[in-house]
Structure 1
Amino acid sequence: MPTAPHPQSTDELYQALQENDRRPYGRTRTVTAEELVDAAEQFAEPVPLVQALLELQEAYTYGSEPRKSPVVFARLLTLFDEQPDVFDERLRHMLFWRFKWVAHALRQLPEIPLVSLRQWLTEMRDRYEKAGLGLQPYYGQAYQVAAHVGEDTTAAYELWAGRTRTRLSDCEACETCERALYHLAAGDDERALRTWEPVLAGKESCQEEPARSVSYALLPLLRTGRTDRARELHLAGYRSSRRNPSMSQEVGRHLEFCALTGNEARGLELLAENRSLFDEVDSPLDQLGFLTGVEVLLQRVELLGHGDLPAAGYAGRTWTVAGLRAEVRGRADDLAARFDARNGTAAHTDRRKARLDRAPLLDALELTLRTRSIEDVAPAAPVAAPASRTDAAAVPDSLPELILQARALDEQGHPDSRACWARLRTLVAARGYTHPDDPAVGPLVHLRADLLADEANRAGEKDEYAEAAALHEEAAALYDDAGAPGHAALARACALLATAEIPTQGTDGAAAKAAALTAAHASMVRLHEETPGLAPFQEARLLRLRATALGLRLQTSGSEEHVAPVLAEVDVLHAFATRHDLAGQISGALLLRASAYAISGDLPAAVTEIDAILDRLKAHGPAWHQPRTLGLRGRLQLGLRDAEAAYQNLSEGLRLAADWPTDTVDTARLHGGLAEACMHLGRPDEALRHLTRSAELDLRRGSRTDAFCTYSNAAQLSLDLGHVEDSIALVDSLLAEPDVAAGEVDDRLVAQLRLTRARALHEGEDLKSATAEFVALAAESAGWDDDPGSHASIAAETAVLLGESGEFGRARDAADQALAAHARAPRYEQLSNCLRELARLQAQQQGPDGLVDALAFLADAGRIADEARAAAHEAHGRSLETALAYEHGRVNAYAGEYEDALAALEKALALLGEPGRDDDRAGEWAECVRLAGAVEGIYLERPAPALTRLDTAVSRLTALGHTEETEPLISLAARLRDEE
């Protein structure tokens, strides 16, 4: 573990203490604090040692190491008794404050006798009385001991709560929580929640609040019907508690909340995220609270029949839910018994039992945008047709019948073949499988080829083209061995198509893919011609693959010359399928024709074709083609900008898709289309639901890149809608996926997710966490040599956040990184916005002292504006020159350079020009006038010209109908007249 450099002077020691204070609580901070105490002992001055000991005690207290905190405090108390003059008012206050920390630590340790705990309270009381301090803090600790032990707390509560607070009382937020817990223990949920409200609303807070109160309030909120509030507080409160050893009990209560609201899958996810708490929490009381919450969750999962699911537990071995539950139960029972033995009551065993005996409060509460049931995370069962369909083919029990039915359904392209193949795969893989000796079934090698072909088809649906091609080739070889040349030809044609779809590297990838598809089509034609004796369904499939290859070529190239070959091949397929009455291939041909029209840009013709297909499907089937056809019709209507019609068709497609397995109908794509339609219709919340459902379906079927991209869009939309905690929780869930954590997902995609999370943290006013994430992303993106523009954007955002934190030196470095990347891939507006905002922040925070550096930022912004003008870049909204002039006005005003400020604002007004009647610049122009009027009238003390400026602007805006924009101008004018 890295350690801090050994301080050589008290100044270096104080600097090291400040740096350590910025670290999160945990082993790194604690070890550093221990080293700094050792370093402080080398100096003759006692004050540095006192400071170092105070820092160490804080590290132990909030790092969940209660055994060590009292030892450090004993040293501090000895120093105080020996050299009281060393402790100034601030240090003395801190010393007496921490008597409470020691009392808290002793309660957490069952090996400390109750009599010793009470003796410490007596020591605290005596010390406070001797120092002339009020006793309310002492009575607060006495009440907490009574509550911990399980005694009647009525008298202790009144002695504490009825006293006037002192400077050494716990903060308002902590005391509010204790009062609410008193009412909660009495069974009065409503009164507890009323008491908690200032903390839950964020009006009172501290190191542990409101996260502690939130965790306790979750179940009372549910019991009183406030489910939306409980959901909202769970998201925010959990994020403040996770992976924090000193808040392990709070994490346990969030796990319990998940278990009691039908969110067992989320509970297991959060348990995995907090796995380190099993080993990092040194407090027995915190361990008891955490483990009981864990057991509530695991007990619920096991009761639902999923005790064999994997679960994250103690390091060093692999756990199942059932195994971990047994281990946790033993440890938690022992801890509860130890506390009860120390306290002489059964309070902790009884409280534990009450938590474990609670029944679920809700069947299902949607906690996050990524809602999953425990069944969703259980190992996938074989795909079966939905029970709602009356025509679903039953999976036969007889093995020969099962094989024949699978092949018959597969010939039709029927979705129910999937369930048959899945059952056969299980049977064939089982030890002792005996293949039927039945001529109708054929040899085992034929069945193995069938299973490989099905596996290859599923790989292709996941865009795993190389895997699909290899499996198809392997299947073809087995079909040859089985004496099935038609099947072998089909498998080889599928392999040709899959190989052509393997992505190619390089700048001309589209041309390469088009050439590969041309070659694949030619090979398929030869294969078709060279394979005699094809059954009609086999020949139709070959024709379908030929048409598909040309359709994909058209989609890849977009070339008009590639349209006619597709249509010609489709005509051949359609004629053949009609001659042999192959309903599935007839509709397949018609769909390919409609798609060709759509790709070529003839959307009306494509819609006409689709309408004819739907009429045919309703009359002749196959029914499983209807959802896909309606989906295509909906997407075409989106292209024609008829969002309402698109929504209706996509919704109907989704309704019909419910009758079929999701992996055969592409339900994910239907949800994606509906999300787009909803956005066009101004229904973003509904769009968000469809996006998340589309993404989760893609994730479950293995299309992980598509899923993460869609989820990334959902997280951004959630943020745009102001659902900050939803956005953060969604991204956190995705980042916890095993393949993401293992670095197996595209780093740019993961970076986009993290960028959305960082922006959400910023929007949620968690500036510290947002800045840390942006700094990390800026460092990583610096290595993206193929994408300097993204690095410029990220570094620019990072610089602004550092500026908001007042770290202008680091902000300057980040801005310089952004400028260097911008030189390679221009981002004119982003860089200009960043530099102007940094200038404003520095002048606003530092006044005249920050003017030189602020003007340097504006000088850089000026060069960006010159570059943009030279490149004929058109800015969105006001020009970069206008924005720069306005910012010069603000910066100089903040720095007290009012004449320069006024000159810059007048330049900005000249560049803006006076607004027109329908001009959206009216608000911007009015704000510029207002600031110029304030500088001139208030700071330069020239009210007359300022009033003339303001009155003229008000008249101008009123005449143009921009009355709302006049209000701040009228208000400023009234102020100036009052001051005359």
Structure 2
Amino acid sequence: MPTAPHPQSTDELYQALKENDRRPYGRTRTVTAEELVDAAEQFADPVPLVHALLELQEAYTYGSEPRKSPVVFARLLTLFDEQPDVFDERLRHMLFWRFKWVAHALRQLPEIPLASLRQWLTEMRDRYEKADLGLQPYYGQAYVLAAHVGEDTTLAYELWASRTRTRLSDCEACEICERALYHLAAGDDERALSTWEPVLAGKESCQEEPARSVSHALLPLLRTGRADRARELHLAGYRSCRRNPSMSQEVGRHLEFCALTGNEARGLELLAENRSLFDEVDSPLDLLGFLTGVEVLLQRVEFLGRGELPVAGYAGRTWTVAGLRAEVRGRADDLAARFDARNGTTAHTDRRRARLDRAPLLDALELTLRPRSLDDVAPVALAAAPAARTAAAVPESLPELIARARALDEQGHPDAQACWARLRTLVVTRDYTHPDDPAVGPLVQLRADLLADEAGRAGEKDEFAVAADLYEEAAGLYEDAALPGHAALARASALLASAEIPAQGAADATEAKTAALTAAHASIVRLQEKTPGLVPYQEARLLRLRATALGMRLQTTGSEEHVAPVFAEADLLHAFATRHDVAGQISGALLLRASTYALSGDLPTAVTEIDAVVDRLQAHGPAWHLPRTLGLRGRLHLGLRDAQTAYGDLTEGLRLAADWPADAVDTSRLHGDLAEACMHLGRPDEALRHLTRSAEVDLRRGSRTDAFCSYSNAAQLTLDLGRVEDCIALLDSLLAEPDVAAGELDDRIVAQLRLTRARALHAGEDLKAATAEFVALAAESAGWDDDPGSHAMIAAETAVLLGESGEFGRAREAADQAIAAHARAPRYEQLSNCLRELARLQAQQQGADGLADARAFLADAGRIADEARAAEYEPHDRSLESALAYEHGRVNAYAGEYEDALAALEKALALLGEPGPEEDDRAGEWAECVRLAGAVEGIYLERPDPALTRLDAAVSRLTASGHTEETESLIALAARLRDEE
């Protein structure tokens, strides 16, 4: 089926060709190019057909379909021979350039005899000589063929490399790569890397570079001790070639790099992202390179004993690492043999064997901010975070194990978890026999114990409805076992969990939760009063649940009237626990008091209280309460803006947490708070490490929403630090997660991840990819009826990117969307910035032709400024009115309307006013406005005298105010104007 309307005129055809050129290489672009060739044949003029055939050959070449490229070129060559006048200088240049494309295509096909390859090079040489073109490009192709075949390349290299470049020579970047590969093949890593440097540094580039050079340079960089550089280039280089059929060999080399640096899990991640290449790569040579890289990775994973892991492979069946490796090995061996048979050498088999025989170059190189192991990609439920230390050994004897679990549980000891886990495993087995021992109690009691433990873990994950149901079920079983105290505890826990379930359909969520917690407290009090035979630890726990309910109510409302009841319950708990020596509840009561002072806003007293708790815990225990207590004290110091003290407490808390099983302490919270402390202390890189560690802990605990929020913050911080490729790599990894791809994660969190990625792409100067993502996000966010402000922001950013790409029609549409959303949820400053920037871009790119549309953007910005002033909005940056006047000046200057430009700039200067000594930001803005006014007046209006007067006066004022740095551009402009007089 056609992908676009059939062009009815040559103008429509050229427009369709232009639009197709914007598409990424692949089937859609190729099919459209084929249709456009058919359309071009209807016109009598052969020139459109030439353009269409050139577009089709490009689609085949970069879409990895080498069998079709020479056929299209044969038609072009016939047209040239029959109607040479059809080819102007540009088309003639493109035709002769593409002789090299055909030579490249023929090399990729083992069914083409070597004699035919040499015959084509002879044809190329004859054509170049007849056209009086230099032969350096021909000798370049002759060298590449020699290297491909595996012949001695010394002479071929000298014949090419010693010749002067011509207009038809490969670009500098491609030739640099070939020269570097020559030195690499000779075993000279240092010389190869030295040769590559202009490309690796980004000074030379083209369609395939630097991605191609980067992929080849990764291993030499490792061998010469430049691991950090290799890491940096891997991140940037991989992104440039992923999922691209014509760069499948490069993808294979990145997979090999992962395998040889201890990053097997990332390699499998990247393989999954590129699984389409198994079926889309039509070039046998490219496929051989890709499959060999895949096999290096799979071989390494299988060597590590993980051949059973699932892996992405050929479509139509599921694969394990071992199964896919066998399949890939067979296909790649066959391809190498076919090339060697064609070439009459063993070069391809030998090169393939050399890659497969390489030993790892590093045990571990942290490639991304999300280091993963093979366990992380295993097809099992996420494991709990690995214990910082192994819990105490559980008893072998079943009666001893049950008794131990209950004793530890009464204390609140973290090692109870291991005992309950072991018992849960035993009880579900088919041959489980419960001990006939009065001390152990009946099986129904044990089942209730296990349900209560499971409920507690559900509550820790905020699964309150699940927790409430499990506690209720446990309570019923305890009653069946004639244990009213245990039943009361379970039922009280169910009441508290139920109170935390978000109210559905409540008009006021805060009011509903407050009422639920008040009711839960009253019910727990009644439950405690009517339950006979409570032992001290049960009574203490019920008191703790009562106090907790009121503490949560205070946290929900922040109301002063809710403070005293919490203190009263905490004091009851403390008195009872002290009287009966329930150590864990004594510290719990003291912690609750400290937290209540904090919630009521009295942070100094809260710190004093918690200091006493820390002292008590250090002297009397329980020791497992210390990490959490230090964490709370650290947060209090953060509230008091004492980041250094907070850092010490949080670091010590994290260190002590390592003494206990991972689930015993909320290390995710400790890492998150440490990240905040590090940011206050000016240690952003350390903050980044703590953010990612926090996310990893949450992931292992199954708290995926919290994990992705932390990762989102880490990605934003990475972008703020200018580590663009790290940011993109992290987000690519997150967005590839199965639950994200399946739409199971909260859509707003995913949107935030994508938005940060789009901004990172923009910062990394990948304007095309950034614009595509922003356009998609703008379309999706248009449906966010509950959040029009976010849509306004996204649409505004989208408009600016479209403007940067010169697509001002689409930019206008996006800006109008932003304006409409802004009417529902104002975003004055963001929208004003967007409209002014669009005006500047249009005037800058189109000059006088774009002035009317640019002024329309500024008129909209003026209305936004009026709205902001009426709403008494205070901008965070400069005033919207002065910024608008300055932009009027720039826009008119770009369009050649210099009198209007000068008038607007003088208005901006009046609005800004002269900066005072302490106004550094405004001084820079004022100086730039003076500079532009001076340039317009002195250069474009040719009135240097008043311009110099303006500039000299501004320099004097700035100097007198101490803003000497801001005078430099003004002094330079004044000197230029005087030189031109």
State the TM-score bracket (shorter-chain normalisation).
over 0.9
Q: Unaligned stretches of 5+ in structure 2? A: none
Aligned to 1:852: 852
Q: Indicate the residue corresponding to 1:732 in structure 2.
A: 732
Cα–Cα, structure 1 residues 428 and 348, in superposed 2: closer, same or farther, change >3 Å?
Answer: farther
Distance change in 2, residues 1:66/1:507 (3 Å): farther
User: Which residue is equivalent to 2:788?
Assistant: 788
CA contact (8 A) 2:2 2:35 kept: no
Separation in structure 1 between the aligned mates of residue 574 and residue 140 of structure 2, nearest angstrom: 85
Matched letter for residue 490 of structure 1: L
1:35–1:867 Cα change, 3 Å: same
| Residue 123 of structure 2 is aligned to residue 123 of structure 1 | yes
What amino acid is the match of 2:979? D
Going from structure 1 to structure 2, the CA distance change for 1:72 and 1:822 (only over 3 Å counts) comes to same
Q: Deviation of residue 599 (structure 1)?
A: 0.9
Counterpart in the other structure of 1:823: 823
Q: Return the letter of the residue paired with 2:903.
A: A
Q: CA deviation at 1:640?
A: 0.8
Runs (5+) with no aligned partner, structure 1 = none
Distance 1:471 1:350, change over 3 A: farther
Within 5 Å, which residues of 2 pair with 1:260-271?
A: 260-271=260-271
Amino acid at match of 1:589: A
1:680-735 CA distances to partner (integer Å, 9 max, x unpaired)? Answer: 11111111111111112112211111111111111111111111111111111111
Correspondence 1:440 to 2:439:
yes
Match of 2:424 in 1: 425
Q: Contact 1:385–1:660 (CA<8 Å) still a contact in 2?
A: no
Kindly indicate whether the alpha-carbon contact (under 8 Å) linking 2:386 and 2:662 is maintained by their aligned counterparts in 1.
no
Distance 1:21 1:384, change over 3 A: closer
CA shift digits 1:480-538 (9 cap, x unpaired): 34444333332222222222112235552111111111111222222223332333323
State how far apart, in whole Å, the 2-side matches of 1:916 and 1:461 are.
Answer: 55
Match for residue 74 of structure 1?
A: 74
Q: Secondary structure at the match of 1:282?
A: coil
Match of 2:205, SS state, is: coil
1:614, distance to aligned residue in structure 2 (A): 0.9
CA distance in 2, matches of 1:328, 1:577: 67
Could you say if the C-alpha distance between residues 703 and 381 of structure 1 is closer, same or farther in structure 2, counting changes exceeding 3 Å? closer
Q: Give 3-state SS (helix, strand or coil) of 1:306's partner.
A: coil
Measure, in 2, the Cα distance between the counterparts of 1:894 and 1:618.
71
Shift of 1:963: 1.1
For 1:407, what is the secondary structure of its paired residue?
Answer: helix
| 1:377/1:582 CA distance change after superposition, 3 Å | farther
Q: Distance in 2 between matches of 1:384 and 1:757?
A: 28
CA-to-aligned-CA distance 1:48-89 (integer Å, 9 cap, x gap) = 222222211211111111222222222223333333333333
Instruction: Map residues 102-141 of structure 1 onto 2, 5 A cutoff.
Output: 102-141=102-141
Change (3 A) 1:937 1:673: same
Alpha-carbon distance in structure 1 between the residues aligned to 2:426 and 2:387:
22
* Contact residue 678 and residue 686 of structure 2 kept, 8 A: yes
Distance 2:157 2:444 in 1: 80
Residue matched to 1:330: 330
- Given that 1:383 and 1:419 are in contact with CA atoms closer than 8 Å, whether structure 2 keeps it comes out as no
Counterpart of 1:423 in 2: which secondary structure? helix
My pick for the range that moved more, 93-102 or 77-86, is 77-86
Which residue number corresponds to residue 285 of structure 2?
Answer: 285
The alpha-carbon distance between structure 1 residues 487 and 340, as it changes in their structure 2 partners (threshold 3 A), is farther
Q: How much does 1:372 deviate?
A: 2.3
Determine if contact 2:272/2:311 at 8 Å carries over to the other structure: yes
Equivalence for 1:403: 402
1:922 aligns with 2:926: no
Structure 1 residue 868, shift from structure 2 partner: 1.1
**Alpha-carbon separation, structure 2, partners of 1:449 and 1:148:** 72
Matched, 1:715 2:701: no
Task: Supply the distance in 2 between the matched residues of 1:426 and 1:626 (Cα, whole angstroms).
Answer: 31
Once residues 434 and 538 of structure 2 are traced to their aligned partners in structure 1, the CA distance between those partners, rounded to angstroms, is 25
**Cα distance in 2 between the residues matched to 1:443 and 1:296:** 57
2:384–2:701 CA contact under 8 A, matched in 1: no
CA contact (8 A) 1:383 1:422 kept: no
Once the two structures are superposed, the pairs formed by residues 792-807 of structure 1 within 5 Å of their partners are 792-807=792-807
How big is each residue's C-alpha offset from its partner over 1:84-134, in whole Å with a ceiling of 9 and x where there is no partner?
Answer: 333333222222222222222222222223233233223323333333322
1:476 aligns with 2:475: yes
Q: Cα deviations across residues 436-470 of structure 1 (Å, max 9, x unaligned)?
A: 44443344443333333222222221212222222
Q: In structure 2, what is the Cα distance between the partners aligned to 1:365 and 1:213?
A: 21
What does residue range 196-345 of structure 1 map to in structure 2 within 5 Å?
196-345=196-345
CA–CA separation in structure 1 for the residues paired with 2:722 and 2:879? 29
1: distance between equivalents of 2:864 and 2:202?
42
User: Partner of 1:778 in structure 2?
Assistant: 778
Relative to structure 1, the CA distance from residue 763 to residue 409 in structure 2 (aligned partners, 3 Å threshold; closer, same or farther) is same
- The residue identity in structure 2 corresponding to 1:964 is E
**Which letter maps to 2:421?**
A
- How big is the shift at 1:321? 2.2
Query: In structure 2, what is the Cα distance between the partners aligned to 1:533 and 1:340?
Result: 88
Paired amino acid for 1:722? G
Q: TM-score, normalised by structure 1?
A: 0.97
* Higher alpha-carbon deviation: 561-570 or 195-204: 561-570
User: In structure 2, do the counterparts of structure 1 residues 865 and 321 end up closer, same or farther at CA, with 3 Å as the change threshold?
Assistant: same
Matched letter for residue 64 of structure 1: S
- What residue in structure 2 maps to residue 465 of structure 1? 464
Distance, in Å, in 1 between the alignment partners of 2:95 and 2:653 is: 70
- CA contact under 8 A between 2:212 and 2:250: conserved in structure 1? yes
Secondary structure of the 2:100 match is helix
Partner AA of 1:214 in structure 2: V
Within 2, Cα distance between the matches of 1:880 and 1:38? 54
Mapped to 2, the partners of 1:45 and 1:279 lie a distance apart of 38
Q: What's the counterpart of residue 413 of structure 2?
A: 414
Distance 1:328-1:407 versus aligned 2 partners, 3 A rule: farther
Q: Show the counterpart of 1:393.
A: 392
Report the residue type matching 1:651 in the other structure: T
Tell me, in whole angstroms, the C-alpha distance in 2 between the residues paired with 1:267 and 1:170. 32
- Offset at residue 224 of structure 1 (A): 1.0
SS in 1 for 2:570: helix
| Corresponding residue number in structure 2 for 1:843 | 843
Residues 896-951 of structure 1 show CA distances to partners (whole Å, capped at 9, x for unaligned) of 11111111111111111122122232111111111111111122222111111111
> Contact conserved, 1:578 with 1:586, CA < 8 A, in 2?
yes
**1:567 corresponds to:** 567
Q: Give the 5 Å matches for 1:932-951.
A: 932-951=933-952
Report the Cα distance in structure 1 between the residues aligned to 2:404 and 2:708, rounded to whole angstroms: 37
Give the residue type in structure 1 aligned to 2:725: E
Alpha-carbon distance change, 445 to 75 in structure 1, aligned in 2, over 3 angstroms: farther
The residue number in structure 2 matching 1:185 is 185
Q: CA deviation at 1:380?
A: 6.5
**Cα distance, 1:626 vs. partner?**
0.7
How big is the shift at 1:386?
4.7
Contact 1:384 1:419 survives alignment (8 Å): no
Q: Is the 8 A contact 2:262 2:360 kept in 1?
A: yes
**SS of equivalent to 1:208:** coil
CA distance in 1, matches of 2:304, 2:517: 50
Q: In 2, distance between residues paired with 1:40 and 1:53?
A: 9
Q: Is the 8 A contact 1:383 1:418 kept in 2?
A: no
Distance 1:927 1:373, change over 3 A: same
Q: CA deviation at 1:319?
A: 2.2
- Counterpart CA distance in 1 for 2:811 and 2:86 is 40
Cα distance, 1:99–1:554 mapped onto 2, change above 3 Å: same
Give 3-state SS (helix, strand or coil) of 1:956's partner.
Answer: helix
Segment of structure 1 superposing worse, 448-457 or 678-687? 448-457
Paired amino acid for 1:927: E
Aligned to 1:356: 356
Aligned-pair CA distance for 1:788: 1.0
Q: CA deviation at 1:743?
A: 0.8
Quick one: distance in 1 between partners of 2:435 and 2:128?
90
Any idea what the Cα deviations from partners look like across 1:624-674, whole Å, max 9, x if unmatched? 111110000000001111111000000101111112222220111111111
AA partner of residue 578 (structure 2): T
CA distance in 2 between counterparts of 1:277 and 1:836 reads: 44
Give the TM-score normalised by the residue count of structure 2. Answer: 0.97
Contact 1:544/1:589 (<8 A) preserved: yes
Contact 1:384 1:416 in 2 (8 A): no
Distance, in Å, in 1 between the alignment partners of 2:323 and 2:431 is: 31
Moved more, 273-282 or 173-182: 273-282
- What is the distance in 1 between the residues matched to 2:710 and 2:307? 32
Displacement of 1:383 in angstroms is 5.8
User: Matched residue pairs, number?
Assistant: 978
| SS across alignment from 2:133 | coil
Equivalent-residue separation in structure 2 for 1:826 and 1:222 (angstroms) = 52
